Amino acid sequence: SGRHWRRWNNEWYRQHTHPDGIRFEIHEALDKLYTQGYRATKVIIAQRYQELMSGYLERSTPWRSGQPEAIAARLYGLPVEFSPDTSEDPCWEVINFDLEKEPGVPVRYPYFRLFE
């Protein structure tokens, strides 16, 4: 099928070559969190996807900061960060993303904008 998978801690992770694949996977994880009674507060995406995802992230400048460097990347309304270098944490060679979460439902459920 041409799909590439890698394993980390007894879980398989699909390695993406197109931004829609990872966006869809993140969207599914957000839905799963929602059904478990959690809301995501941040998305951390593996550094290796930074170039692939750069054109698909929402960009906004925080109103308090006049600094152009303070442009915040967002996906589905959530802040996005990219992982540390794989030499700091080798799991990022395999896993695609992680969601920071907290108990509760999203104030505005922003994840319906899957392929805007």
- For the chain, 116 residues long, give each residue's pLDDT as a single digit of tens: 567 999 999 999 999 999 999 999 999 999 999 889 899 999 999 999 999 998 889 886 555 555 555 567 999 989 999 999 888 899 999 999 999 999 987 665 555 544 44
Residue 6 domain-assigned (yes or no) = no
Residue 3 domain-assigned (yes or no) = no
Residue 68 domain-assigned (yes or no) = yes
Residue 71 domain-assigned (yes or no) = yes
Number of domains in the chain: 1
Residue 54 domain-assigned (yes or no) = yes
- The amino acid sitting at 40 is A
Residue 25 domain-assigned (yes or no) = yes
Alpha-carbon distance 72 to 100, whole Å?
A: 17
Question: Considering the entire predicted model, what is its pTM?
Answer: 0.80
Residue 109 domain-assigned (yes or no) = no
Of 72, 93, 70, 68, the C-alpha closest to 81 is: 72
CA within 13 Å, CB half, 101: 17
Residue 60 domain-assigned (yes or no) = yes
Q: Which domain holds residue 32?
A: 13-104
pLDDT for the residue 6? 92
